[in-house]
Structure 1
Amino acid sequence: MPNPRNKWLPREPSAGATGRVFLIPYSGCGTSMYRKWPHQYDGVDLLPVELPGHETRLAELNVETYQELAKLMVAGLEPYLDLPYAFFGHCGSALAAYEVSSEITRAGLPQPARVYISSQVAPQDGPAGRFLEMNDEELAEELTMLSHELGAEPNPTLISFYVEVLREDVETNKRYVMPDPFRLSCPITTIGWTEDVEVRHKTMGGWTACGETTFELLSGRHHRFMDAPPELLKVMCDGLGRAE
């Protein structure tokens, strides 16, 4: 009898991969935001993670805290932590990547090889970001712009619906106040973007309080990660790919 599909992973991990990077979607979005990404890079599976209350899981309740999300995600992804792996998150989802890595440490499970934090300040320096002060009309404008970035024609009915999802994600971000952050035992890489006016890389130095941290500054704007730039893929898959 075939195994049921894992609701967290729309795509089954490949048997021959040397490692896995779990890609957590940006606030208000689902796994389709990684549609431009390859399935694999240098032998490493690049696996978008579908969150409760988003896209294929719209029938489920969204979470109210990143801590709640972390506990659910750890239970869902535990069968796939048998290879070297990492988490990637951008902006709000970077906090989810950090929190799920913290939960894995507390649960005594195999540690991530690394956590990749793109365009987000450290937990003790937030919550931060212009989304936090936006009304629903402004959030709708952001979603319309994001649809264009993804190469899709915005559908007003869908935009109106997804504003509710984005609002819930923004409220989750607002509730994440962490003056004394948990220190990870795995290393962290922060990723900034030269033309990012949303979260400047120089504001991300606080991640050193959350674990051993290295800093990368890549070329591009806030949303350039959605295009899967080769230099980002190389940074993320370093150490997880095929041996030279």
Structure 2
Amino acid sequence: MTTGTTTATSPWFVRPPSAAPAARLFCLPFSGSGASAFSAWPAAIDGVEVCPVQFPGRENRLAHPHYGTYEDLADNLAEALAPLLDRPYALFAHCAGAIPAYETVLRLAARGLPGPRCLYVSGQPAPHDAARDRMLTLTEPELRAELEAFVRGRGIEPRPDMIDLGMSVLLRDHAAAGAYRRSEPDRVDCPLVVLHWRDDTDVSAEDLEGWRRYADRVEFRVVDGGHYAFMDAPGELLGALTSWR
């Protein structure tokens, strides 16, 4: 198992977490992306420090070996987070990032470490339904077209070298998503908030219903915007992410 570190130079965070914030919000990106998915987010929300997590094998960690499986990713992330759990915290994860976030919470509990005050999952079916993800049915050319459309949707004209690099990350993340299997829910000990994006054409509100089995307290919220609207840090979302305080 690769050892995670949480010193000021930890590769798991694009900026060193503060020494003594009131609370922390750890943010996990979606397949094919990295911590830059949160580049438009503020450094803090209502006194809660925003801590974007950087998975290995992308962006400033491109030279690091890919995490391989969601299970290995969760093992290593739990280790990296452990020294930072000395104050209240929550996790937010979008799309496929919600799966390793959930698995990480289970591993923190198994290690006897403090659990989050809340787990927020956004635009992602429950773990036992993850294999139904539309993206898993796409061929490599179709995935490339999806990536190009996403980049254009962010107002950037995709260059071939940019798309080639993005595909190298996306295909490995895609393989991890395709290999993940969970047949039965294992409940987390914290409240679970499931976010549905009103204009999401990929994931419907019904697709999210499976999360009801994953915690004793499950809340569903609808927020305005499409599947990737979270990247623009809409106020409605940011307000929801501090409701656990």
TM-score range, shorter chain: over 0.9
Does residue 124 of structure 2 align to residue 120 of structure 1?
yes
Identity %: 37
Does residue 96 of structure 2 align to residue 92 of structure 1?
yes
Query: In 2, Cα distance between the equivalents of 1:49 and 1:152?
Result: 24
Structure-1 residue corresponding to 2:60: 56
Greater shift after overlay, 223-232 or 141-150?
Answer: 141-150
Q: CA deviation at 1:227?
A: 0.7
| Matched pairs, number | 238
Q: CA deviation at 1:186?
A: 0.9
Structure-2 residue corresponding to 1:35: 39
| Long gaps (5+) in structure 1 | none
Give the direction of change, closer, same or farther, for the CA distance of 1:40–1:4 in structure 2 (3 Å limit). closer
Structure-2 residue corresponding to 1:221: 226
Q: CA deviation at 1:14?
A: 2.7
Query: In 1, Cα distance between the equivalents of 2:121 and 2:228?
Result: 14
Structure-1 residue corresponding to 2:190: 186
* Corresponding letter in the other structure for 1:144: E
Q: Deviations over 1:172-231 (max 9, x none)?
A: 111111111211111110000111111112221111211121100111111111111111
* Corresponding letter in the other structure for 1:106: A
* Corresponding letter in the other structure for 2:126: A
Structure-2 residue corresponding to 1:6: 10
**Counterpart pick for 1:146 among 141, 144, 150:** 150
Q: CA deviation at 1:4?
A: 4.5
User: Does the CA contact (< 8 Å) of 2:8 and 2:16 recur in 1?
Assistant: no
Structure-1 residue corresponding to 2:201: 197
User: Does the CA contact (< 8 Å) of 1:20 and 1:85 recur in 2?
Assistant: yes
User: Does the CA contact (< 8 Å) of 2:121 and 2:193 recur in 1?
Assistant: yes
| Long gaps (5+) in structure 2 | 1-6
Q: Deviations over 1:127-166 (max 9, x none)?
A: 1222101122222222223223444442210211221210
Query: In 1, Cα distance between the equivalents of 2:26 and 2:68?
Result: 21
Structure-1 residue corresponding to 2:164: 160
Query: In 2, Cα distance between the equivalents of 1:205 and 1:80?
Result: 32
User: Does the CA contact (< 8 Å) of 2:8 and 2:17 recur in 1?
Assistant: no
Query: In 1, Cα distance between the equivalents of 2:38 and 2:214?
Result: 27
User: Does the CA contact (< 8 Å) of 2:120 and 2:192 recur in 1?
Assistant: yes
Structure-1 residue corresponding to 2:176: 172
* Corresponding letter in the other structure for 1:239: W
Describe the SS at the equivalent of 2:90: strand
Query: In 1, Cα distance between the equivalents of 2:151 and 2:84?
Result: 31
Describe the SS at the equivalent of 1:237: coil
Structure-1 residue corresponding to 2:213: 209
Query: In 2, Cα distance between the equivalents of 1:152 and 1:6?
Result: 30
Give the direction of change, closer, same or farther, for the CA distance of 1:227–1:172 in structure 2 (3 Å limit). same
Structure-2 residue corresponding to 1:238: 243
Give the direction of change, closer, same or farther, for the CA distance of 1:232–1:143 in structure 2 (3 Å limit). same
Q: Deviations over 1:90-140 (max 9, x none)?
A: 110011111111111111100011110101111122312221011222222
Instruction: Give the alignment's TM-score, normalised by structure 2.
Output: 0.92
Query: In 2, Cα distance between the equivalents of 1:74 and 1:150?
Result: 32
Q: Runs of at least 4 residues of structure 1 off by over 6 A?
A: none
* Corresponding letter in the other structure for 1:47: C
User: Does the CA contact (< 8 Å) of 1:150 and 1:226 recur in 2?
Assistant: no
Aligned-residue Cα RMSD (Å) equals 1.5
Q: CA deviation at 1:16?
A: 5.0
User: Does the CA contact (< 8 Å) of 2:105 and 2:116 recur in 1?
Assistant: yes
